[in-house]
Amino acid sequence: MDSLMTTSQTHRPTAAALNMVGAMCVIGAIDIYVAVIAQTISVWQFLIMRLLLAAPIVFALSALGFGTLRPRRFGAVAFRSTLIAIGMFCYFGALAFMPIAMALAGLFTSPIFVLLLTAFVLRQRIGPWRIIAVAVGFAGILVVLGPSGGSLGWVAVLPVLGGILYASGVVATRALCDGESTLTLLLGIFVAQGALGTIVLGAITVIDLPVGAGGMAFLTRGWIWPIGEAWPYLLMQVFGSVVGVGLLNRAYQIGEASHVAIFEYSVMIFGPFFGWMLLGQPVTWLQGAGIALIILAGVIIAMRSRESAARLPS
């Protein structure tokens, strides 16, 4: 059985939508606790621990027949994994400074940057509707950040940079990683994150970098052991990530990509909701309006992509 391969399968739109909404619900619920983890360990140790805890799960899934771990093109997988790993560092790092609603708004600009990379790097034509979507999306970014973005300083750029790098990883996946097993791609991200964490944590140790105050400690703190207070949240984050990414990948396997992508934006509802309900993170009406603009941009892009695909000869 190799049900997690990236080869095409019969489309099941309802099941795909449910898988995607389930994935976004799980991810929205677990990512809010990165802010809690940030109070104990650094983002670099967090990335290393994610690898150490997630790798046995991925190996077990492979042993059970859910997909191979051997990449067809090692360099392509490594390049794609590095882009996404650095992008996710930007997102996770931002969670120590801002509510999840703002961090997700930055990360989910990725469809806008996928479109821009497609136009300017791959030299593919984009129509006027998708150009409008780009403008709407960038307006949404400015509205979400609002006055609070200025008070955050350079940190406000982190989640948007995460969106750019994640978009680059998506383009690399399409262009370079066709036919790779889902488990290969999943393990590649965890390994790249662990390698990034090890390199930076080693540099912090050698330089003896002083620990910053507040959210900066998440970026500058060295290795901490034991990490008793962080363990429950760390385990929840790791297992939730495996489940969430598994559901996400399954959704794209059994559904048409432009249809499924629309439901991915449900995380913009789940994340802020769980952040408000469980951690008391506020979401202002202005931020809500900005999130709505980013979602609208993503939906326009997905719908126009679907129409473009439908016009292609079979």
pLDDT of residue 26: 94
Q: Which residue has the tokens 């790779």?
A: 180
Whether 9 has a pLDDT exceeding 50, the answer reads: no
Asked if the structure places residue 171 within a domain, the reply is yes
Whether 154 has a pLDDT exceeding 70, the answer reads: yes
Q: What SS3 string covers 285-303? A: HHHHHHHHHHHHHHHHHHH
pLDDT of residue 309: 53
Using CA atoms, how far apart are residues 76 and 91, in angstroms rounded to an integer?
23
Asked if the structure places residue 4 within a domain, the reply is no
Show the tokens assigned to 48. 């290393």
pLDDT of residue 306: 59
Listed in sequence order, the residues at least 6 apart from 20 whose beta carbon sits closer than 8 Å to its beta carbon are: 247, 248, 251, 255, 260, 263, 264, 266
Whether 2 has a pLDDT exceeding 50, the answer reads: no
Asked if the structure places residue 2 within a domain, the reply is no
Domain residues for the domain of 92 are 13-308
- Highest-confidence range of 86-100, 133-147, 163-177, 258-272, by mean pLDDT? 86-100
Quote the pTM value.
Answer: 0.80
For 27-51, write each residue's pLDDT tens digit. 999 999 999 999 999 999 999 999 9
Asked if the structure places residue 8 within a domain, the reply is no
Q: How many domains does the chain have?
A: 1
**Which segment of 50-54, 109-113, 156-160, 184-188 scores lowest on mean pLDDT?**
109-113
Using CA atoms, how far apart are residues 159 and 178, in angstroms rounded to an integer?
27
Top-confidence residue, 18 or 5:
18
Top-confidence residue, 201 or 182:
201
Asked if the structure places residue 314 within a domain, the reply is no
Whether 5 has a pLDDT exceeding 80, the answer reads: no
Asked if the structure places residue 313 within a domain, the reply is no
Whether 196 has a pLDDT exceeding 60, the answer reads: yes
pLDDT category, 305, cuts 50, 70, 90?
low
Asked if the structure places residue 105 within a domain, the reply is yes
Whether 312 has a pLDDT exceeding 80, the answer reads: no
Please, what is the average pLDDT of the chain? 82
Top-confidence residue, 156 or 62:
62
pLDDT of residue 138: 77
Asked if the structure places residue 120 within a domain, the reply is yes
Top-confidence residue, 193 or 214:
193
For 252-281, write each residue's pLDDT tens digit. 767 766 667 778 778 888 888 899 888 888
Using CA atoms, how far apart are residues 243 and 245, in angstroms rounded to an integer?
6
Percentage of the chain lying above the pLDDT 90 cut: 32
For 138-148, write each residue's pLDDT tens digit. 788 778 766 65
